[in-house]
């Protein structure tokens, strides 16, 4: 199985993995598969909105990094036992409106979420690519 070759709580570039294979591996292992194609996003707000829409966040989502963390951790944790997560952020922008610092801040939220779930012994794997 593909997921056995990937640490259970990590945020990493998608590199040699294919989205379809990750989706299938998540399904086979009974884990949540969360996918956001961010090709159209140009700014931090666009990225947060794209993630919120793709991941079906509640209407009251604040579209900031703290709210993203809350939705990826506490909100889901309070809904009951979780089997694990495979998250794919495809085509994060790479431009002056979403620069390296902005990307790292976003990925730090997912790293913090991976740590949150690791403490609960729940696998959380996040893969990303850039435009």
Alpha-carbon dihedral sign for residues 61, 65, 70, 71: positive
CA distance 33 to 96: 30
State the residue range of the domain holding 94: 2-130
pTM of the model: 0.94
Give the CATH number of the domain where residue 85 resides: 3.30.370.10
Output the pLDDT for position 1: 57
Q: Per the structure, how many domains does the chain have? A: 1
Residues in Cβ contact with 34 at an 8 Å cutoff, skipping those fewer than 6 apart: 54, 55, 85, 86, 87, 88
What are the 10-residue block averages of pLDDT along the chain, 131 residues in total? 86 94 95 97 97 93 94 85 95 95 97 97 96 87
Q: What is the DSSP-derived secondary structure letter of residue 7?
A: -
Output the pLDDT for position 109: 98
């Amino acid at each position: 199985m593909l997921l056995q070759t990937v640490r259970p709580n990590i945020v990493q570039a998608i590199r040699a993995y294919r989205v379809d294979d990750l989706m299938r591996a998540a399904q086979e292992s009974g884990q949540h598969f969360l996918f956001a194609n961010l090709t159209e996003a140009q700014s931090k707000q666009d990225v947060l909105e794209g993630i919120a829409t793709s991941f079906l966040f509640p209407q009251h989502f604040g579209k900031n990094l703290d709210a993203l963390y809350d939705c990826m951790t506490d909100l889901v944790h309070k809904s009951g036992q979780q089997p694990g997560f495979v998250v794919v952020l495809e085509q994060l922008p790479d431009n002056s409106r979403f620069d390296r610092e902005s990307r790292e801040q976003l990925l730090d939220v997912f790293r913090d979420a991976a740590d949150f779930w690791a403490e609960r012994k729940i696998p959380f794997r996040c893969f990303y690519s850039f435009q």
